[in-house]
Chain A
Amino acid sequence: MRKVEIITRPFKLDEVKAALTELGIQGMTVTDVRGFGRQRGHKEVYRGAEYQVDFVPKVKIEVVIADEMVAEIVEAVTNAARTNQIGDGKIFVSPVDEVVRIRTGETGDEAI
């Protein structure tokens, strides 16, 4: 099993969700987050004084999937979230040791 964390632009959330749903993903967790990558954040100006705002708003979408779906999902998400502008975000894939569905006690792929 793998966890896929997608950090992307807030306005891309709906498209990423649709792409994931289309591939049969049934659940996901979404968090509003702030952060920056290599391009840093943006400038704000108050009465002529400039402030560098490093942390820009992003959303983080987390899904846990079966190993064999990774390539498919990464490609679908990349296509859905891409704007070709700086700040499109990142996808992190990491191994998951165990998944338990609390209601039934099921474990592993059954519980995803």
Chain B
Amino acid sequence: MNAADTAFILICAALVMFMTPGLALFYAGMARSKNVLGTVMHSFVLLGVASLVWVLVGYSLSFGTDIGGFIGGFDYLFLNGVGPEPGGPTENLPHLLFMIFQCMFAVITPALITGAFAERIKFGPFVAFSVLWLIFVYSPMCHWVWGGGWMGEMGALDFAGGAVVHMSSGAAALAAVLVLGKRKGYGTEPFIPHNLPMTLTGAGILWFGWFGFNAGSALAADGAAANAFVTTHVAAAAAVVSWLLVEKWHHGNATTLGAASGAVAGLVAITPAAGFVTPMGALAIGLGGGVICYGGVFLKSVFKYDDALDVVGIHGLGGTWGALATGIFAVESVGGVNGLLYGNPGQLWIQFVSVVGTWGYCFVVSYILFKVVDAVMGLRVGVEDEIGGLDVSQHSETGYQL
């Protein structure tokens, strides 16, 4: 056990926790005012629900004794055997601390998906889906990458969750929009963000919390954490700039929503790479992330789906770019593995396999889960409730008394 590491990861866990209310603001500002509470609630309720799923079964399924490279066993069910002494995958941290740090990841990941089906889903079925998703998608993914499963064993690099968090939520988002369909009026009337200052505030909180997310994934207060902190910041900064430049070129103005979106795109893209690349590698990944995700948001107009807040375009594509870029820019002196640019093309192939595996598994299982919940409970609110907004129809409240 190491006191400095323990102190650092405690703070990091708290930082990651703060990302979820930050995400709530980021998303809610982009929704229309009649859905502001429905949208913040999608994230906020998961602080409750996902945390419970995690301590009851999720942690065990993710980090319990490996079963066939696919899933963890039941040895940590109900946190059985998870105590203040060192344990689990770490020797320098209290086992409980590792568990709660990971818990914060399990909270924010299903919250990321909610941007896809914002403004049209029933609250109860959404919660039911989230519980099932944590058990059948998130926990296996987490096990594959960090818990001793096949993806980690294969040598796939995912420092802080490019596959586990971002590609998985992006793939689920794509499944969500295919099952739920478009919002009423989508394509014929404008869906304008109701409070961009709120979105900027949320993006700022996300950026702040991301330092805990990525630097904390070093699981120690050491040079790897410092490297991850710096790469995280540099990538986000680069993506803000590249998003705004491409936007200025493409549309004539650098927008506020573009700045916020660029920041998140850069943070997503650097997540898998944070501990494996140099700051200049991060710069390249961030620049690419801004441009790629800017293009990603147009996919929905090409393929005619309604990904309300661009989860596929930003988390899905950004995570995919980050995973592949890790295989390109990784440097042995930083994280122990070389990528394509440093003479190891095999790593890029491994990263590619991890991308295909993640998208394939997460999309298919998420699609099935959405279909099952839809059949049993009905996913979508009625037309009248949708037009009236989720705030009143789902929560009997209104966000603003103006």
**B258 — which chain A residues lie within 8 A by C-beta?**
47
Assess whether A44 is interfacial by the CB under 8 Å rule: yes
User: Which residues of B from 258 to 300 have beta carbons under 8 Å from A?
Assistant: 258, 261, 294, 297-298
CA distance A50 to B190 in the complex (A): 9
- Asked whether A46 lies within 8 Å of B192 as measured between CB atoms, the reply is yes
Assess whether B335 is interfacial by the CB under 8 Å rule: no
CA distance A52 to B189 in the complex (A): 10
CA distance A56 to B258 in the complex (A): 23
**B298 — which chain A residues lie within 8 A by C-beta?**
48
Interface residue from B190, B193, B250 paired with A48 (Cβ < 8 Å) = B250
- Asked whether B261 lies within 8 Å of A51 as measured between CB atoms, the reply is no
Q: Which residue of A lies closest to B190 (CB)?
A: A51
**A47 — which chain B residues lie within 8 A by C-beta?**
255, 257-258, 261, 297, 310
**A49 — which chain B residues lie within 8 A by C-beta?**
301
**Tally of A-B Cβ pairs under 8 angstroms:** 25
User: Which residues of B from 302 to 316 have beta carbons under 8 Å from A?
Assistant: 310
CA distance A44 to B190 in the complex (A): 10
User: Which residues of B from 180 to 194 have beta carbons under 8 Å from A?
Assistant: 190, 192-193
Assess whether B2 is interfacial by the CB under 8 Å rule: no
Instruction: Report how many residues on chain A are interfacial, defined by Cβ distance under 8 Å.
Output: 9
CA distance A72 to B256 in the complex (A): 46
Q: Mark B112-141, 1 if CB is under 8 A from A, else 0.
A: 000000000000000000000000000000
User: Which residues of A from 30 to 51 have beta carbons under 8 Å from B?
Assistant: 44-51
Q: Mark B189-206, 1 if CB is under 8 A from A, else 0.
A: 010110000000000000
Q: Which residue of A lies closest to B301 (CB)?
A: A49
CB distance from B381 to the nearest CB of A (A): 24
- Asked whether A48 lies within 8 Å of B251 as measured between CB atoms, the reply is yes
Q: Mark A48-72, 1 if CB is under 8 A from B, else 0.
A: 1111100000000000000000000
Q: Mark A66-103, 1 if CB is under 8 A from B, else 0.
A: 00000000000000000000000000000000000000
10 A–B contacts, CB within 8 A, in A order: A45-B251, A45-B255, A47-B255, A47-B257, A47-B297, A48-B250, A48-B251, A49-B301, A50-B251, A51-B192
Lowest 9 A-B CB distances belong to which pairs? A51-B190, A47-B297, A45-B251, A46-B257, A47-B257, A48-B297, A46-B193, A45-B255, A48-B298
> Hey, which bits of chain B sit against chain A, CB under 8 A?
190, 192-193, 247, 250-251, 253, 255, 257-258, 261, 294, 297-298, 301, 310
> Hey, which bits of chain A sit against chain B, CB under 8 A?
44-52
Given A46-B257, A47-B310, 19 other A-B residues pairs in contact with their CB atoms under 8 A: A44-B192, A45-B251, A45-B253, A45-B255, A46-B193, A46-B255, A47-B255, A47-B257, A47-B261, A47-B297, A48-B247, A48-B250, A48-B251, A48-B294, A48-B297, A49-B301, A51-B190, A51-B192, A52-B190
